[in-house]
Structure 1
Amino acid sequence: MDGIDALLDTHDSIGLAALVRDGEVGARELVEAAIARIEERNPALNAVIATRYDAALAEADTVDRSAPLAGVPFLVKDLNCDVAGLPSTRGSRLFADVVATEDCELTRRFKAAGLIILGNTNTPEFGKNASTEPVLHGPTHNPWDLDRSPGGSSGGSAAAVAGGMVTAAHANDGGGSIRIPASECGLVGLKPTRGRTPTWPIPASFAYPVGVGNCVTRTVRDSAAILDAIAGPLPGDPFPAPPAPPTGSFLGAVEQEPGRLRIGFSTVLPNGEPVHPAGITAIERTAAVLSALGHEVGEGMPDWDRRMSALVVTSAMGINGARMVEDRLAELGRPLADDDLEVFSREMHERALQQTGIDLHRAL
């Protein structure tokens, strides 16, 4: 097992799948190694909040070895990506006892690609926070410094990948929920174009159509391969994405020469606050690398109304989230209790109840 365990450090998801495809390692062996790591490391990180080990081992035994990501252990964020048999709490006490009864479309595509889902990862309530510390499941810790946050809202997934439990994990993003934790945990995190990946059949997706599903990974090619596996519209999708790259795949595009790119960066946050000195150092180091590669790199700030993004996000998230909460209360047959929602979620919910369909239409 020691040799198999080391593969989780030396190989990315594509590399692990190649070993499974060539018969050099079994999918069950990889899953067992990932399970052992979760059991060993999760108590310190609190990244994983529910598991399905028996089902995962059974799926590993029957996985199609020709699948692009065959046998690769994987985790799914506990928000808007249901996995049959796993909790679907959305990080909220209001949904604490909800268990998914069927796989959502994104989960089906993960499984079709050969990924073996081991469990759910932590998320702030409804994904409405840039730090993953819900009252329901407690805070997730950053593997690089346990006294710090991994960011959010995909902080559980990011901590699990950065902590070496798995090589990739599901994440989604409405206002930074892939990009923030990827940045804070040293990972690759891409928010795809709206409509690139499916959100349905999950009803009342809280940030729909602002939120987009994808993943966090350790390598660019892994992110491309997973996006290849899950991209594509469903009939009725209101926001179809542009066509795939001319290469026919995102993984193929990774190998293409991009030409000289014009790249901008900012050392000031959108609200005008300065970036932490350590962040500026990282930005400047990255800018120097990109410049050395021949790209045009310069500092700049988009000319935009900084209030607009906040308005869009709070309206889209707030109104759709209010519908989700109201639907849940209707199922329970009771009004909202004092301890159902955290303070921020309750405030957003109460504001949303005062908004109109016109407000939502403007935001979208």
Structure 2
Amino acid sequence: MASDRRFDPAWKLAERIRNGTVSPTATVDAHLERIDARNDDVNAFITVAADHAREQARAAERALEAGESVGPLHGVPVALKDLTGFREGIRHTFGCRAFADNVATHTADFVRRLEDAGAIVIGKTNTPEFGHKPVTDNLLVGPTATPFDLGRNAGGSSGGSAAAVADGQTAFAQGGDAAGSVRIPAAWCGVYGLKPSFGRIPESARPNAFQYHSPFICKGLLTRSVKDAAIALEAVAGPNAQDPFSLPADDADYVAALDRPIDEWSIAYSPDLGVFPVSQSVRTCLEDALSAFERAGATVDQIDVDMGHSLETLRNRTRFGLMQAFTAKIADSIEDRTGIDFLGEHADDVPEEFRDRIRAGRQFSPVDIGRMNQVRTAMFDGVQTVFEDEGYDLLVTPTLSVPPIRNDSLDDVRVDGEPVDSRADWLLTWPFNMTGHPAASIPAGRVDGLPVGMQLVGPRFGDETVVTASAAFERHRPWMDWYATVEA
């Protein structure tokens, strides 16, 4: 299976397309065949844009035949998360029954940038309603499975994108990350998931251009290789005048960052960020995987990170409070624009937990939000201390506390047999949506055949640092042969 071109890294597929070894049409057809064979089991796609993809593949072939200059992702299939991955003319559901027949009327800026680089949109991937939880399941099409065990969840909320990449249904995919929504499914699906710095990949949200800053919500990438993510990030990063938070242009070179050494680096390893319960099997897996950095010449120290508060306070005042406020804001915007009221006649189109978040979010005052951001500031200061005061180049943690959980136990998460809050307490990802630091989940190993992710966190705006560390890890501990175990 690993030699199947559907499992080739995106960069290699693009190379073969450019040199004529394979055609864009054959590449798209191969992935569509894989989707047809596997989507009933994995449930990665809500919408398969077969006609659109084939039309774009034919256009890509004509460009090659005419000798035109083509982009770095020319002819390569990409999947878009069905949340903010708008592509004009393709169904866009937000993972919600109320929007089952909705068709996008515009193309998101980052999607246009991917297409300008030559990528071909092959479909829209599964997500919980408006990305509201850390697993992928919804009332529209049901749960998405990790291809490594079809009875277990892919993680969320970009679970469809991660599963499609791991299963060879697309070459790479886009996701969004509000509390780990790229890194969580990357960990459970055994792929690489990159959350850049806030503002690195611009948003052009309307009618509220300021909505994504509390917490820091970012576009991200899900790939089978670090190089794929570096190439795609170069394609989509850069300022957009319509985004008040987009970062200015700089001289970053993410592809060049792949080959930089880390032999003089000092790496901090925190097994729990000081507050999270983490299963012994995950700890053991991570501690073994850290040797990859040491073989690359880096020094690894285990440290304590001071987040300033207990997990309960951090969870309730930031993970829950700010996300509840954000959900209420989104629900109000939807009602204003479409008339759809999720606490009224469309209540049955979303789960009760989503309605509860709307209700809770509507109760918060500006004073409440200010107090939440004080707790958030303590988290920021704790992470900054690792980089600024202690002088580390990289912070490493588990991505998640547990390997993939079963689809019939999504509300019963246990760490070494002890129940934890299923919405927050097993996710070491959301603190970095509060602080804004760039982060990635990289395949670290497997426990009983199930993928385990390692989270790499860079200093502020240190996206190149994360890419460099990821590539060094991949060189010393590659995972491409994992996909040979995915069912043919």
With the length of structure 1 as denominator, give the TM-score of the two structures: 0.90
Structure 1's unaligned 5+ residue stretches are none
Match runs of 1:178-217 below 5 Å: 178-201=182-205, 203-204=207-208, 208-209=212-213, 210-217=216-223
- Specify the alignment match of 1:240 in structure 2: 246
Larger mean CA deviation between 340-349 and 235-244 belongs to: 235-244
Correspondence for 1:56 among 53, 56, 60: 53
- Specify the alignment match of 1:292 in structure 2: 295
Q: Distance in 2 between matches of 1:346 and 1:183?
A: 28
**Compared with structure 1, are the counterparts of its residues 108 and 13 closer, same or farther at alpha carbon in structure 2 (3 Å cutoff)?**
same
Corresponding letter in the other structure for 1:52: A
CA drift of 1:236 comes to 4.2
- Specify the alignment match of 1:231 in structure 2: 237
Correspondence for 2:348 among 319, 326, 339: 339
Match runs of 1:1-364 below 5 Å: 6-9=4-7, 11-63=8-60, 64-65=63-64, 66-201=70-205, 203-204=207-208, 208-209=212-213, 210-241=216-247, 244=250, 248-268=252-272, 271-273=275-277, 275-304=278-307, 305=309, 306=311, 307-308=313-314, 311-330=317-336, 331-332=338-339, 336-337=344-345, 338-360=347-369, 363=373
Corresponding letter in the other structure for 1:126: F
Structure 2's unaligned 5+ residue stretches are 65-69, 374-433, 435-488
Corresponding letter in the other structure for 2:303: G
Larger mean CA deviation between 211-220 and 59-68 belongs to: 59-68
Q: Distance in 2 between matches of 1:202 and 1:17?
A: 34
Q: Distance in 1 between matches of 2:301 and 2:352?
A: 40
**Compared with structure 1, are the counterparts of its residues 206 and 235 closer, same or farther at alpha carbon in structure 2 (3 Å cutoff)?**
closer
Corresponding letter in the other structure for 2:299: E
Q: Distance in 2 between matches of 1:253 and 1:49?
A: 35
Q: Distance in 1 between matches of 2:163 and 2:304?
A: 30
Q: In structure 2, the residue corresponding to 1:75 is in which secondary structure?
A: strand
Identity, in percent, stands at 34
Q: In structure 2, the residue corresponding to 1:57 is in which secondary structure?
A: helix
With the length of structure 2 as denominator, give the TM-score of the two structures: 0.68
CA drift of 1:258 comes to 3.3
Q: Distance in 1 between matches of 2:210 and 2:323?
A: 5
Larger mean CA deviation between 336-345 and 216-225 belongs to: 336-345
Contact kept in structure 1, 2:262 and 2:296, CA below 8 Å: no
**Compared with structure 1, are the counterparts of its residues 38 and 226 closer, same or farther at alpha carbon in structure 2 (3 Å cutoff)?**
same
Flag the structure with higher strand content: 2
Contact kept in structure 2, 1:206 and 1:324, CA below 8 Å: no
Q: Distance in 2 between matches of 1:45 and 1:333?
A: 30
| Root mean square deviation, CA, Å | 2.4
